Every structure is written in C-alpha cells, then in structure tokens.
Amino acid sequence: MDFEITAKDVLGRICRIETPHGRIETPTVLPVINPNIPFISPSKMRDFGAQAVITNAYIIFRSFGEEAIEKGVHKLLDVDFPIMTDSGSYQLMLYGDVEVSNREIIEFQRKINSDFIVPLDIPTPPDADFETARKDLEITIEREKEAKEIKGESFLVLPIQGSTHAELRRESAKKAKEIGGDVYAIGAVVPLMDAYRFRDLARIILEVRSVLRVEPLHLFGCGHPMVFALAVALGCDLFDSAAYALYAKDDRYLTVYGTKNLSELQYFPCNCPNCTKMEPDEVRELEKREREIFLAEHNLYVTFSEIRTIKNAIKENSLFELVEKRIRAHPNLLSAWRQIKDYSKILENSDPSIKRKFLYCGLETLMRPAVKRHLDSLKQINFEKDTIVISTDFGIIADLYLRPVFGPVPSELLESYPAGHAEIPDADIIEKEALETAVENLKELMRNLQGKRFVIYLSGRWKEFLKDLPGECEYVLH
C-alpha cells in the first residue's frame, strides 16, 4: 500500500494513503453504511467531509449475494471513493455466531472489489479472563494468516485483539506485524468507550503503538468527536463509526465536549448548515424520521469539523494544546491522558523537538517531552565561570533565569523554543507542581555542575520552593 506521512505531532500524524478509488488523507473517519437501510445516502457522505466509508460484508453477503459480486460494492452503494468492508465480527460479538467462514467472507470481500478487507477476527470483550482472551487471539491470528494468502489485490486490515490484557494486545500487534497487513485495527473497544473507560482505551492504544511504531492504525468503532483528539495524539489514524446515526435515532446531539439530549438544548452550540437554519424547539417538532436525519447530519458535520481542527493542530504543532483542552470534557479523559507519563520514551521518539509555541494549559503540560528535553539540552552547555548567578527576576543580570515548568533557562536561550517561546502563568499564581518541576530541573542541573558556586536571587513565591539546593549556595532575598 502506498502510504506516506506528511506531518507529525505528539504521536499523531497526517498520512496519505493511495487506493485504486482515490486518496485518503488521515486522520479521518469512515462513516458506517448499513447496505440495507442507508440512513444518509453513501454518495452524500463526501459533502460532510468523508473520504471513505465502511460497510458490512457479512450483511451484503446475506442480503445481496451474487448480485453484489456482479455489481461490486462501489456500484452497490453508488460511490466512487474507497470502501472498507467489515467481516461480520461485530455480528459475532452481538449474536455469538455467524453463518460464514473466514475463507468465505474474505473471498467474498475480494470478489465485490472492496478496497480494504478485514478477516473474521474474534472480538474478545473487555475483562475476559486471560486464557479465554489468549485462545480467541490464537484463532484470530490463524484467520489473519489465511487472509494474507487469499486477499488478492485488496488492502488487508489486520485486527488487534486481546481484550484488556496489555500483554495480549502487544502479542497480537507483534503477530499481525509478522503476518504483514496494510492497516492494523484495534478491535473490541466499543464497550470500553460506551462505559467511558477511556483509561483502558488509551492504555490499549499505547501498548499497540509501542509495537507498531509507524504503521497505519485504525480504531474500530470510535466515532465520538470528544475522543478524536486524544486518540489521534496517541497514534490512531483511522476511525469508523455508526455513532452519527445511532445517537441521532436516540435524539442525541454530539459535541466535542460530550453528548447532549435534544430535549435539554435551548440553543445549538454549532455553526453547521443545519444548526444555523433551525432552533432546537423547531427540531423537536419535526417528525421522527426528519429529526433523525437533522441530528445525524449535524453529528457528521461536527465529526469532520473536529477532524479538520485536529489536522490543523498537527500542521502547526499544537496538538498537545488541543488535547489538553479537549480532555477537560470528562474526568475519565483526563485520567486516560495522564498515562502518557508511563510511555515517555515513545513520545520523545516521535514528538517533533522544535515547534513554534509552547502554551501552558494545566498540569498535563508538565508531561510534554519538551520539558525533559529542555533539561537534557542544559546538560550539554559548558558553564565556564566558577560562580553561577541564578535569578527568579528578569531585572537582575544572571546566567540562569528560573521559569515555572522548565526551571533554569540560560540568558542566551531566552528567545528560543521551548522555554523562551513558552506562554506560562506567573509564578505567584501557577499550580505548585509547575514550580516543583522547575526546582527539580534546577537541582539536577546543579548536581551536574559539581564544584561550582551558586548565587541565587529569590523573590516572591519561589522562596518557598528554592530550599536545600545542592552545592555551595548563597541566597539573596529581595
């Protein structure tokens, strides 16, 4: 598969995937199309910003059979852009059984000329016991091997399973990589998202990304715009979801800050063509079918608007800032994101080291690789003087100035990224952790400069934090 990364930020990327039915630029969402009852016509999906769709090969197999093979899936859905077909695993999870074999459904997907085909993997639900999850995974791996042999010209999507067991998710990713797919897809996470278990979700994505460092990664069934920024920043490129339709059927309205019930909205907080044309009161008066379409269209508009916002953030290297704002929509998103501190190596390897801006958004900002990189770069500097002057006040001539978050900043770096380009609240008002981090960085640098004498000018709130510094220190309070 022709796949190119054109921009990177955090673990997120903008990628181009060339398919026989045109280019896909990720991150993007593939709206789910039910081939029997298309809620919004597939050809209209382009108008909302979709570049590809996903449909269910198992439903097509049962409902259309030979007709689908004669026409091909593109003609069947009346679209000329790329289509991914799912295999029936979702039905397997729902009903416990499907009336088709792995080989049959892969051959069928090939015959209907699907651009991306998916084997019939076993979707082990969250919290399954280890042995069950391991046995299911063995079957999935065998089916993936079989798929690789018979996939033909189509691109192969290899699902990653293993329930909530980190070890099994990694194992699944390793085995899938050995088999060799074109796209890798994290499966069976919808129950986690439905229960707002974003912490487990983020952990699974990070475990998979620690094995699959660059490969295209799809997150099956993720369709809520509230989660996209976090999932992209953790390394997901592709999403698919029926959320736009399922939520609409339930009178639910998607926003990047969460879900609203139509009944609780007095105003629409959105600028899409639908929300600027009608008031919530008027929409509540519509017939059920019309109301569903109104909401589904809004849900699609807000979905692709968020995708464009994320792509822009990747381009201007402000994805950390965007995620740190978005995770405030729900405490479970905050908990999910804070786990990046356990994966700092992966982040450091991927996140660009030079950016234009560094905007402090809260405690999570302290976990960005730029903070640690700043300290690493300080250790490379050769301080020739025997006495080093450190000041918390920019009005005093000093060798090092103390800033919250970063700690010591040499005067010659006061105009450079990150510390020099950082917008940070004043020391007298910022969270104490931002001062503690700064002091830790200072201590580590001072330990690195053994034998030097330090003169430290202290003012304001810094006085509380700058105690017990290593080495020979003279404190000047002012």
265 binds Zn ion (CB under 5 A): no
Q: Establish if 112 lies at the interface with Zn ion (CB under 5 A).
A: no
Is 129 a residue of the active site? no
Smallest distance from Zn ion to CB 259, Å: 13
| Tokens representing residue 102 in the block | 């792995």
Number of H helices, E strands in the chain: 20, 20
Structure tokens that stand for 183 in this block: 């796209």
Beta carbons of 133 and 168 less than 8 angstroms apart? yes
Instruction: Pick the stretch among 63-71, 262-270, 359-367, 458-466 that binds Zn ion (CB under 5 A).
Output: 262-270
Between residues 215 and 306, which has the closer beta carbon with respect to Zn ion?
306
- Residue 9 three-state SS: strand
396 near Zn ion, judged by CB under 5 A: no
Residue 292 Cβ, how far from Zn ion at the closest point, in Å?
Answer: 14
CA dihedral 404, 408, 411, 414 (to 10 degrees): -40
Catalytic residue among 86, 121, 136, 200: 86
* Whole-angstrom distance, CA of residue 252 vs CA of residue 360: 33
- Any contact of residue 403 with Zn ion (CB under 5 A)? no
The residue among 87 and 255 lying less far from Zn ion, judged by its C-beta, is 255
150 binds Zn ion, rule: CB under 5 A: no
d(CA 366, CA 410): 20
298 binds Zn ion (CB under 5 A): yes
Q: Which stretch binds Zn ion (CB under 5 A): 156-164, 263-271, 356-364, 378-386?
A: 263-271
User: Which residue from 84, 122, 183, 275 is in contact with Zn ion, where contact means CB under 5 A?
Assistant: 275
Q: Does 166 bind Zn ion (CB under 5 A)?
A: no
Judged by CB under 5 A, the residue of 7, 272, 424, 449 near Zn ion is 272
At its nearest, how many Å lie between Zn ion and the CB of residue 257? 13
Q: How far is CA 195 from CA 114, 190, 191, 382, in A?
A: 32, 9, 6, 53
> Which region, judged by CB under 5 A, interacts with Zn ion, from 51-59, 71-79, 268-276, 414-422?
268-276
Residue among 73 and 283 whose Cβ is closer to Zn ion? 283
Q: How far is the CB of 46 from Zn ion (least distance, A)?
A: 18
| 74 vs 298, beta carbon nearer Zn ion | 298
Residues in the chain: 478
Please list, in sequence order, all residues whose beta carbon lies within 8 angstroms of the beta carbon of residue 231, skipping any fewer than 6 positions away.
Answer: 201, 205, 219, 222, 239
**Site map (CB under 5 A) of Zn ion, residues 214-253, x = contact:** ----------------------------------------
* Least spacing, CB of residue 287 vs Zn ion, in Å: 19
Half-sphere exposure of 68 (CA within 13 A, CB side): 25
Q: Is 293 in the site for Zn ion (CB under 5 A)?
A: no
Give residue for tokens 């926003």.
Answer: 255
For Zn ion, give the closer residue by CB, 274 or 318. Answer: 274
- How far apart are CB 273 and Zn ion at their closest, in Å? 8
* Of residues 113 and 274, the one with the C-beta less far from Zn ion: 274
How far apart are alpha carbons 400 and 407 in whole angstroms? 9
Beta-ladder partners of 407: 403
Which of 270, 286, 359, 449 lies at the binding interface for Zn ion (CB under 5 A)?
270
Judged by CB under 5 A, does residue 278 bind Zn ion?
A: no
DSSP labels for 356-380?
Answer: S-EE--SGGGGGSHHHHHHHHHHHT
Give least dist CB 241 to Zn ion, A: 17
Task: Give CA–CA dist 108/99, Å, rounded.
Answer: 13
Part in contact with Zn ion (CB under 5 A); list of ranges 124-132, 214-222, 295-303, 357-365: 295-303
Answer whether the bond into residue 418 is a cis peptide, omega within 30°: yes
Residue 179 binds Zn ion (CB under 5 A): no
Q: Which amino acid is at 74?
A: H
Directed axis angle between helix 331-338 and helix 198-209, to 10°? 30
- Give how many residues touch Zn ion by CB under 5 A: 4
- CA separation for the pair 37, 17 (Å, rounded): 29
The residue type at 469: L
- Which one of 66-74, 99-107, 217-225, 273-281 is the stretch in contact with Zn ion (CB under 5 A)? 273-281
Cβ nearer to Zn ion, comparing 305 with 411:
305
Identity (one letter) of the amino acid at 290? E
Distance CA 55, CA 69 (A): 15
DSSP calls for 233-268: HTT--EEEESHHHHHHHTTEEEETTEEEEGGG-SS-
Please report whether residue 93 would count as binding Zn ion according to CB under 5 A.
Answer: no
**Could you give the residue numbers annotated as active site?**
86
Residues that bind Zn ion (CB under 5 A): 270, 272, 275, 298
